[in-house]
Amino acid sequence: MKSVKLFIQNKEGEPLSARLELPASGSPHSYAIFAHCFTCSKDLHAVRNICLALTSRGFAVVRFDFTGLGESGGDFSETNFSHNIEDLIVVGEYLEKNYQAPSLLVGHSLGGAAAIVAGSKMESIKAIATIGAPSTISHVTHLFKDDLSTIEAEGYAEVSIGGRPFTIKKHFVDSLDLKDLSSIVKKMRKPLLIAHSPQDRIVHIRNAAELYKAARHPKSFLSLDRADHLLSDEEDSHYVGDVLSSWAKRYIDFKPVERADSESQVVAQIAGDDYTTQIQTRHHTLIADEPTSLGGNDLGPSPYELLSAGLGACTAITLKMYANRKKWDLQEVLVHLDHGKVHAEDSAHTEVNNTQKIDQFTRDIELVGNLDDTQRARLLEIANMCPVHKTLHNKIVIKTTLRK
């Protein structure tokens, strides 16, 4: 993801720390906002993984810290749930003014509840997704239920949430009864995806059932079986991101971004301290990575697998085009490829120094259809004429510059 650091002023003029995550091309088709869980931050690994899935599908995503949390300004103890809603709306207004109005809201836990309330007020929002969200805002009080009597008597209490100290004041607790989520969901009439784990020990699965029952169609439920509330296992957050990005495209009307002829045909972009790489072609996005054995996340094919894939795809397309022109009954083509380094003496390239290792692609082609031996032999010859094959055989010049 290409990341831009932002500071957005909240209603009190205090800075909200945010990250605008962009697809590799830098030209998103739509914008989304992610609202993190109660007392969490925008930098939770699960948040970053879900944003990665969205940007790989061409979305731009703003993840930010609510007032008083993470790197944002303000005093958390002076905030309440209404402040979270205001923060979301302010971020949406900032996007509309400086980039493009957001069309998707995603919220985790109490952030999901805030996304429902804020999304019902924001005209530009076309779809809302929640992850482990409560059906009542007051549900969050179970995190500090032993301190409620102190908060009521003293007006505040120092509580521990997730091993970190927070000051919770009475006005925060009182504000939790001011919003009826079920009623808001019922009136909202916007596509809603509810993702929840049956094993969630923080927000019980019945909360998802209550929200789903209250919502009107189109509504969807995604079971996060075996996941915990914070999606601590990276596999779970990647799964949520993949499904969410596919679901959102169904309800958000956008067209592939038209890129100028002067722009690069392909952009490969890597950020952070891992090897996960976003690739943007003229109208498509994909991910490349390294296997975990080499320190990668294995979220996509490796560079050499992509190179082999290019050769395989070009071979199959070339054979199909040729057979179509000849009106031959070629029903299916399967191209099996392997890549490795071999000593020149073990290959047919005797012009290369025998002590030198060279790259070797092994290509095994299956042809399915009513073809005679002459046709099959000719198609084997045509395979060696595919454009990528010719490119790999030709002398290649790679001109590299640093872009300013």
Task: Write down the pLDDT at residue 25.
Answer: 75
In the chain, what percentage of residues exceed pLDDT 70?
94
- Predicted TM-score (pTM) of the model is 0.80
pLDDT in tens, 204-228: 999 999 999 999 999 999 999 999 9
Task: Write down the pLDDT at residue 344.
Answer: 66
Amino acid found at 355: T
Amino acid found at 173: V
pLDDT in tens, 306-346: 999 999 999 999 999 999 999 999 999 999 999 998 876 65
Q: Is the pLDDT of residue 394 over 60?
A: yes
Average pLDDT for 245-250: 93
In the chain, what percentage of residues exceed pLDDT 90?
65
Q: Give, in degrees to the nearest 5, the angle at Cα 64 between 404 and 193.
A: 115
Average pLDDT for 106-110: 96
Task: Write down the pLDDT at residue 333.
Answer: 94
Task: Write down the pLDDT at residue 348.
Answer: 55
Q: What's the CA gap between 389 and 252, in Å, rounded? A: 40
List the one residue out of 366, 313, 364 whose CA is nearest residue 338: 364
Q: Which residues contact 62 (CB under 8 A, 6 or more apart)?
A: 6, 18, 19, 20, 21, 31, 32, 33, 34, 91, 95, 102
Please return the burial class of 258, using the count of CB atoms within 10 Å of its CB with bins 0-12, 13-18 and 19+. Answer: exposed
Question: What is 2-140+179-251's CATH topology?
Answer: Rossmann fold (3.40.50)
pLDDT in tens, 20-45: 999 877 789 999 999 999 989 998 99
Q: Answer yes or no: are the C-beta atoms of 116 and 210 closer than 8 Å.
A: no
Q: What's the CA gap between 92 and 101, in Å, rounded? A: 6
Q: Is the pLDDT of residue 360 over 60?
A: yes
- Going from the C-alpha of 327 to that of each of 73, 208, 271, 369, 373, the distances in angstroms are 69, 56, 48, 12, 16
Task: Write down the pLDDT at residue 373.
Answer: 96
Domain boundaries for CATH 3.30.300.20 within the chain = 303-393
Q: What's the CA gap between 38 and 132, in Å, rounded? A: 11
Q: Which residues contact 206 (CB under 8 A, 6 or more apart)?
A: 135
Average pLDDT for 378-393: 94
Q: What is the mean pLDDT of the chain?
A: 89
Count of helix runs (H) and strand runs (E) in the chain: 11, 15
Q: Which residues contact 141 (CB under 8 A, 6 or more apart)?
A: 148, 173, 176
Average pLDDT for 91-96: 98
Q: Is the pLDDT of residue 67 over 90?
A: yes
Task: Write down the pLDDT at residue 180.
Answer: 85
Eight-state DSSP code of residue 192:
E
Q: What's the CA gap between 258 and 96, in Å, rounded? A: 20
Average pLDDT for 113-122: 95
Q: Is the pLDDT of residue 347 over 60?
A: no
Amino acid found at 188: M
pLDDT in tens, 170-187: 888 888 776 789 999 999
Lowest-confidence pick of 17-21, 180-184, 229-233: 180-184
- Select the more confidently predicted residue: 128 or 293: 128
Q: What's the CA gap between 76 and 90, in Å, rounded? A: 17
Q: What's domain 303-393's architecture?
A: 2-Layer Sandwich (3.30)
Domain boundaries for CATH 3.40.50.1820 within the chain = 2-140+179-251
Instruction: List residues bridging with 157 in a β-sheet.
Output: 168
Give φ, ψ of 384 to 5 degrees. Answer: -75, -5
